[in-house]
Amino acid sequence: MQLFDAGLLARMEDGALLKEAHGGRLRAALDVTDPEPLPPGHPLWTAPGVLITPHLGAFTPSLWPRLGALVRRRLTRFATGQELENVVHQPTVTPGPPHRS
């Protein structure tokens, strides 16, 4: 099993993750840890199949020109009445009984 955590998954117990990683049943890429930042010597740093990346890994020198171009393009489309890109429409949800697992 592979686990890619983009910070959207519920908090998982480090002990369970470490057990599965050491057993070879789980590989994980984590950018969010508890605690954060992960202290030196924490077992997750050396767990087999576990990759720890900085939570701010996207902030590279190449980000800023690309981000500037994206913002300009989107503001121009908005200001000129063009269709906006990547619009997410909230679906209509009918309330129902709570889901029980």
User: Phi and psi dihedrals of 30, rounded to 5?
Assistant: -120, 135
Tell me: the pLDDT tens digits for 42-95? 998 999 988 888 776 667 788 889 999 999 999 999 999 999 988 877 777 677
Residue 99 pLDDT > 80: no
CA distance 32 to 9: 10
Question: What confidence category does residue 4 fall into, taking pLDDT thresholds of 50, 70 and 90?
Answer: low
CA distance 86 to 101: 33
pTM for the model: 0.48
- The CA angle 51-43-11, to the nearest 5 degrees, is 70
Strands 50-52 vs 27-30: parallel, antiparallel or unpaired: parallel
Residue 8 pLDDT > 50: no
Residue 6 pLDDT > 60: no
Greater pLDDT, 1 or 23: 23
Closest Cα partner for 30 from 9, 48, 2, 51?
51
Per-residue pLDDT at 9: 47
